[in-house]
């Protein structure tokens, strides 16, 4: 039976952010109306996985640094501009990517499937890179805390 991975992935985003980050994203149907602010700092996290039956894939998240700091503040129970939050912003987006990947794998393949996950890689994105990522047809867009949240998953199986 073939899984509808996009549906599973899209259905996992809101619960993961709500439970892990106390953030409540709303899906955006038409990404064309989302404005990317030039000069704003953006972050991108990506991790890959490989599992049984030659199943592999990756999960990517992209958001403004402002949103990442708000999420880190929520997770740490501190103000978004506190030194601890500023220090943990990359770990925050990494952890959310990790949790999201785990949930998608579990939803798609069940709890008995075994997968190896890479350590999430975090990097800065320019506004232009963020805009190009947003405009990709396989990227889901959300609004959270007044900011754009972008997510993409790729799942390959035989």
List the pLDDT tens digit at each of the 158 positions of the chain.
Answer: 345 677 777 788 999 999 988 999 999 988 888 888 888 899 999 999 998 766 888 999 999 999 999 999 988 888 888 888 888 888 999 999 999 998 888 888 888 888 899 999 999 999 999 999 999 988 999 999 999 999 998 888 75
Contact 97, 61 (CB under 8 A): yes
- Model confidence, pTM: 0.88
The sign of the CA dihedral 17, 124, 84, 46 is positive
Number of domain units in the chain: 1
Each residue of 64-78: b (16+ CB within 10 Å) or e?
bbbbbbbbbbbbeee
Where in the sequence is the domain holding 63, given as residue range(s)? 5-156
> The domain that contains 89 carries what CATH number?
3.40.1550.10
- Alpha-carbon dihedral sign for residues 58, 67, 16, 131: negative
Q: Can you tell me the distance from the alpha carbon of 128 to that of 120, in angstroms, rounded to the nearest whole number?
A: 22
């Amino acid at each position: 039976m073939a899984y509808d991975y996009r549906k599973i992935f899209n259905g996992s985003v809101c619960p993961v952010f709500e439970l892990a980050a106390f953030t409540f994203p709303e899906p955006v149907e038409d990404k064309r109306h989302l404005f990317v602010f030039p000069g704003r700092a953006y972050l991108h996290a990506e991790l890959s996985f490989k599992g049984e039956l030659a199943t592999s894939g990756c999960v990517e998240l992209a958001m403004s640094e402002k949103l990442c700091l708000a999420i880190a503040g929520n997770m740490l129970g501190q103000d978004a501009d506190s030194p601890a939050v500023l220090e943990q912003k990359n770990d925050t987006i990494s952890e959310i990517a990790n949790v999201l990947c785990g949930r998608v794998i579990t939803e798609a393949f069940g709890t008995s499937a075994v997968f190896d996950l890479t350590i999430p890689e975090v990097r800065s994105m320019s506004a232009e890179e963020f805009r190009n990522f947003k405009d990709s047809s396989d990227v889901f867009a959300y609004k959270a805390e007044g900011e754009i949240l972008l997510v993409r998953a790729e799942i390959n199986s035989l």
